[in-house]
Structure 1
């Protein structure tokens, strides 16, 4: 199976070097480029066509949000995984709107970062659980002012269970193992959830599920969930 091609975009050379060393230890990954600013990140993505970009938010010339918008416009199949020290809700919302597939804090463990890269490469969304809590807490205030349309079809008990596990940051494989289901079945349930809730991503489904009462803050841990290492 082809290796996952990863590009690292961060203005700190020490972090880029450390991340390269980490990823080069993984047999299913290869680092195809490094960028020290947002403009360079956009240019290198056009040249190298990586599967995943590991991107910081605060960089010279273009921010991570601006670079993400440009990258997703020109290379929609490239997944953007944000790795940053900032957990401000404004950054989170801006990055999700820009098309980022995931958001992790730099306090995440090495195995969490590697697992998150595999997750976004396979089409899943990854969001640090502390960031998820902040996002949902923000929704609490918004939902008081903005009525939310109910899903076209009520979620089944199994679909609610899977949505709550997704809110914990669990991958499709994690959910399948916990519920003793096949990966195909989990993907089918998620597809049904997206259709019923008129959503296109896990994060959007979690937020809407929170507004409709399917998910509560108690379902989202306050620490960072770990991502099991899995080959894709």
Structure 2
């Protein structure tokens, strides 16, 4: 029997992309696809699922609230699929019961593989997110920016800033990093929020001021 997959993602284009990934995977079928927390909660009523792909930042709440709902009502797996790769988000998601943590730049074939792994009881985690767990296991101090823990820029966000500082466009940056322009946009929104800036120029300046990128970048 095909595994029933639910999708909770507020971006229409990305949601359509994930739907296509599920549709093209052998042994999977789409149970529901929702763009907000309220719609997802309604979708799972009387509609059994085996795994839900869940974004964290939603227009009407946190994806972790949905994880709690699903875990409290069924044995379904919840695989986080988000642009947020900071330490705080990773640890909070896993403590909330998530069965895995993937970043949105995960290629389609790897996304399918990790859905299968999660269904088998494994806990796939993107390498960047896994770094924080390794730090905890080693008892090392996490590498973050000064200030609040959830304001730390991710490795990928720093990569984006470095390429921007070299004059690269959104499209060029996406091609060099091997991810979509949409994902670049998500990274930029996160960078602006964390650095409290409103433009690429301001972001690059702030990143250089706090040592994230060198003056030569």
TM-score where L is the length of structure 1 = 0.57
| Structure 2: gaps spanning 5 or more residues | 142-217
Deviation sequence 1:25-83 (CA, Å, 0-9, x none): 122111111111122222222332110101101002221112111211112x1100111
SS in 2 for 1:126: coil
- RMSD, aligned α-carbons: 1.7
Tell me the residue number matched to 2:71: 72
Matched, 1:47 2:69: no
Q: Match for 1:111 among 96, 109, 112? A: 109
After superposing on structure 2, the runs of 4+ consecutive aligned residues of structure 1 that deviate more than 4 Å are: none
Q: Show the counterpart of 1:58.
A: 57
Q: Does residue 25 in structure 1 map to residue 44 in structure 2?
A: no
CA shift, 1:141, in A, is: 4.0
Q: Is the 8 A contact 1:39 1:67 kept in 2?
A: no
Q: Relative contact order (C-alpha < 8 Å, sep 6+): which is higher?
A: 1
- The match for 2:15 is 16
Which structure 1 residue ranges, 5 or more long, are not aligned? 143-232
Aligned pairs for 1:69-108 (under 5 A) are 69-75=68-74, 77-108=75-106
In the TM superposition, 1:1-232 aligns within 5 A as 2-75=1-74, 77-139=75-137, 140-141=139-140
* 1:185-228, Cα deviation, whole Å (9 max, x unpaired): xxxxxxxxxxxxxxxxxxxxxxxxxxxxxxxxxxxxxxxxxxxx
Residue 197 of structure 1 corresponds to which residue in structure 2? none
Aligned to 1:194: none
Shift of 1:137: 2.0
SS across alignment from 2:29:
strand
Q: Which moved more, 1:109-118 or 1:58-67?
A: 58-67
